[in-house]
Structure 1
Amino acid sequence: MSPSLMKMWISLASMGFMFLAILLIYFSRFKLGGVFKFVTALVAYILMIVSGIIIFLVVFSGPTPE
């Protein structure tokens, strides 16, 4: 697998993390209560931070050869 294709899959996974984080934040704010609300919100914000770091690294790692 070429480095360009690997970067594409990594960035696609990061966008999936962002989408999952949006769903979890929605459920934690409007559908859940109690401890589940806190746990899902915590997981959602961790996923959002991780996906932001991954996208930052992919974008600023520069172009790949070929």
Structure 2
Amino acid sequence: MSTAMMNMWISFIGMGLMILSVFTIYISRYKFKNGFLKVISALLAYACMIIGGLIMVYIVFSGPA
């Protein structure tokens, strides 16, 4: 697999993690009533957002393939 294709798949993973974090934080804020589940889902959402953001920074600064 070429470097460009690998970067494409890595960027898809980053975008998927960001989309997952949006849905998870929505569920955390509006659907869960239990405080423990709210905290766990919010932590998962923020972890996905941070990892997805770091992946996007890596892809942008790696330059054209």
Per the normalisation by structure 2, the TM-score is: 0.95
Runs of 4+ in structure 1 deviating by more than 4 angstroms, as ranges, are none
How many residues align? The count is 64
Per the normalisation by structure 1, the TM-score is: 0.94
For structure 1, the 5+ residue unaligned runs are none
For structure 2, the 5+ residue unaligned runs are none
- CA-CA distance at 1:63 after TM superposition: 1.1
Write the distance in 1 (CA, Å) between the matches of 2:14 and 2:57.
Answer: 10
Per-residue deviation, residues 35-61 of structure 1 (Å, max 9, x unmatched): 000000000001000100110011111
- Aligned counterparts, 1:15-34, within 5 A: 15-32=15-32, 33-34=34-35
